[in-house]
Chain A
Amino acid sequence: MAKKVLRIDMSKLEATYENVPEKWSRWAGRALTSAIVFDEVDPTVHPLGPHNKLVIAPGWVTGSPAAPSSGRTSFGAKSPLTGGIKESNAGGLSGQKIAKLGLAAIILEGQPEKGKWYTLVVTNEGVKFEDASGLLGKGMYEIDELMWEQYPDTAVIGIGPAGEMKLSNAGISVNDMENKPGRYAGRGGLGAVMGARGVKAMVVDDTGGPGVEIVDKDLFKQGRKKLTEAIQEHDLTKKDGGLNSFGTAILINILNEAGGLPTRNFSAGQFEGAAMISGERIAEVVEERGGEGMTGHGCHPGCIIKCSNIYPGEDGSAMVSCVEYETAWALGANCGIDDLDYVAKMTYECNDAGIDTIESGNTLAIAMEGGVIEFGDAEGALRLLEEVKQGTPMGRIIGQGVEATAKAFGVHRVPTVKHQSMPAYEPRAVKGIGVTYATTPMGADHTAGYTIAPEIAGVSGKLDPLSDEGKAELSLTFQAATAFIDSTGYCLFIAFPILDIAKGWAGMAESVAGVTGMNITGDDVIPLGKEILKMERLFNERAGFTAADDRPPEFMRYEQLPPHNVVWTITDDQLDHVFAWVHDGNGAGD
């Protein structure tokens, strides 16, 4: 059975099922959300107005039987935070259930009558529009519980109060296997786009759905086997490996030792309290407190990496999932806070209000630099996040993110690119990621450029990856590979084993080819990724972005970062070279 596109018109409260048009038939996940936004959203529209659309798409292999770690859901729209195209993806329950309903994508468009809010119930029978006025103002923890009381074991996609207020830092929550709202398509304010469609929650029940068709079962099984073996063999992703044992926050102490952990609003590369908010400390707390806390927690069914955690309170009861690297850094080191319990409380508050933890931590640091509270004031930081949920004037400023808050409080050291704040790798110290921060269509994003094998990236004999010039050259291939992986539905962390273990790379491509029937090999990954990037870059250009938007923040050019006392050294010419090919006339797939 061919997949369908489910189009939900919130102006007419109508749902229609459409055949997937030829132009979108090759795409899934990020590729599909970007293609639909590129084709159907005028880049000049207001992100919160009636003409923006929210597109939700599972990846190629999402929902297929036992494809390892493949439960990602992509969300795409014009971003209220960046003003450009945005794809943000999440784990949780939604991707597999949408895919098993036979849907390639769900398009939310239009706006209902002012003041009307709805819960959408998506089943194999169609879409029900339920009045959501009784849910307004509620945080995501309560929303998930209420939805499961009525619709148990469903996927719940929802927004917290921040999305209702259409704040630029509002994310979209997906419930996890414990029905908690820890899985966020957090970046770029897509929760505000969902709120602007008048949708508080979307329940997805795949009961009776047709499932995911696999065109070439033998090829799929072959690819799945290779990829599974690669994941299980690699030190980073295997059971009891780094991610499984300590979660992504294992990087806190490493980046701190390297002098690349942004501290107190990117004013230093080392934080004296790093060990207290690290993955090692999280594992110690879990072991000391016992109870419901755990490391090695999966964020979606079928994950075999399991890098998530459940952070326990003092009594051992589950406090929040998940305290990950970016979260521990943003709400910890970047705010000068070394109390892990407060970091966990703030994470809970972000999850409940429905805001991105990276942008939130950066915003708190800006508020600290602007004198609203002191660096290290954990109680004050928690209070500011609570104000977001309450919708106070201060909370609404904080909920708009870093740049709005910097303007409100006269801060000029603003760590953003394309209006989105930087994640947890200091680009003056970790130069390679800085190139990707500067040039990705998504705004500063640490997940936009994952390393691929040197022979595919063209390194062997051509580029010196240790030089500044090499980093600019490499960033494009890294970004293209990532755009492809974001479209598969696989967790981006499969990038670790598929870089180092050849059969993993082949397994990824073969499993996608097996599900879709497309003739994809490992050699097709970069050209397909470049097609996706080209759509995204062109959308941004038409929205008004220029080369001046592919630049690091000014202060990083002149302010030396301790302990290495380094400044940004990549030239503008090198940055401009990354996407020069978009207009070279050789087509997207060159």
Chain B
Amino acid sequence: MNSINVNVTLYGPLARIKGKRYVANFDIELEPGTHKGDLLALLGISLEERSYLFINSVLCDVPGLDSGCGEVLKDGDHIGIFSINHMWPYQYRDGIPMSENLKKALQNRGVMHHSYTVHAEKD
């Protein structure tokens, strides 16, 4: 396969990257072997701009926390990326499916926080 196609939705102000107001959905063609981090770089989205990131309904990132370059994307994947001002209180995500990379990152920083943009210390 020379390329893969993934579907991306940007929520909040990030949607302006694609000329939309608050929600932008689009398909994008990528090189095989592209990582999550590569996609973010391609779209020009920094850690300071994005909050929650899902790949196929699995939570892979939370605001203020860098879980690394992450998963290799596959053909047909759906990626949902939320802007930094999105919120998801901990009690409303306690138990949802998460990537192994994110679990490791959370264990290092402390699992139970609403946001990691203001909380730098490990619990």
Interfacial residues, chain A to chain B (CB-CB below 8 A): 233-236, 240-243, 245-246, 250-251, 253-255, 257-260, 269-270, 275, 278, 280-281, 283-284, 287, 425, 429-434, 436, 446, 449-451, 453-455, 457, 459-460, 465-466, 468, 471, 474, 478, 495-496, 499-501, 563-564
Contacts and interface: CB of A to CB of B under 8 A. Distances in A.
A499 B113 contact: yes
Interface string B16-35: 00000111010000000000
25 contacts: A234-B115, A235-B117, A236-B87, A241-B85, A255-B92, A257-B9, A258-B93, A259-B96, A269-B57, A275-B9, A280-B11, A280-B23, A425-B92, A451-B94, A459-B111, A459-B123, A460-B123, A465-B112, A466-B106, A468-B95, A471-B94, A496-B87, A496-B89, A499-B90, A499-B114
A259 B55 CA distance: 11
Nearest to A436: B91
Given A287-B21, A460-B123, A434 B57 contact: no
A563 B55 CA distance: 12
Contacts of B112: 451, 453-454, 457, 459, 465, 474, 499
B93 A430 contact: yes
Enumerate the 10 nearest inter-chain pairs by beta-carbon distance, A residue then B residue, closest first. A432-B94, A431-B95, A242-B87, A280-B22, A257-B80, A236-B87, A259-B57, A451-B90, A257-B54, A454-B123
A420 to B, nearest CB: 18
A459 B123 CA distance: 9
A496 B86 contact: no
A474 to B, nearest CB: 8
- The SS class assigned to the B binding surface is loop
Given A242-B86, A451-B114, A496-B87, A430 B96 contact: yes
B95 A429 contact: yes
Contact of A563 (B9, B57, B80): B57
Residue picked from A260, A280, A284, A474, most chain B C-beta under 10 Å: A280
A253 B11 contact: yes
Interface residues of B, number: 43
Nearest to A425: B92
Given A280-B12, A500-B113, A564 B57 contact: yes
B59 interface: yes
B52 A257 contact: yes
B70 interface: no
A450 B57 contact: no
A284 B22 contact: yes
A433 B94 contact: yes
Given A236-B87, A454-B110, 19 more contacts: A234-B114, A235-B87, A236-B114, A240-B85, A251-B87, A253-B11, A254-B82, A257-B52, A260-B93, A275-B9, A283-B21, A284-B22, A432-B95, A450-B89, A451-B91, A451-B94, A454-B123, A465-B112, A564-B97
B48 to A, nearest CB: 11
Given A460-B123, A465-B112, A253 B23 contact: yes
B74 interface: no
Nearest to A564: B97
B86 A430 contact: no
A257 to B, nearest CB: 4
Residue picked from B106, B113, B114, most chain A C-beta under 10 Å: B114
B118 interface: yes
Given A433-B94, A449-B91, A500 B118 contact: yes
B95 A284 contact: no
Nearest to B119: A500
Contacts of B56: 563
Contacts of A449: 91
B91 A432 contact: yes
A430 B87 contact: no
A253 B119 contact: no
Nearest to B13: A245
A449 B92 CA distance: 10
Given A254-B86, A451-B89, A278 B23 contact: yes
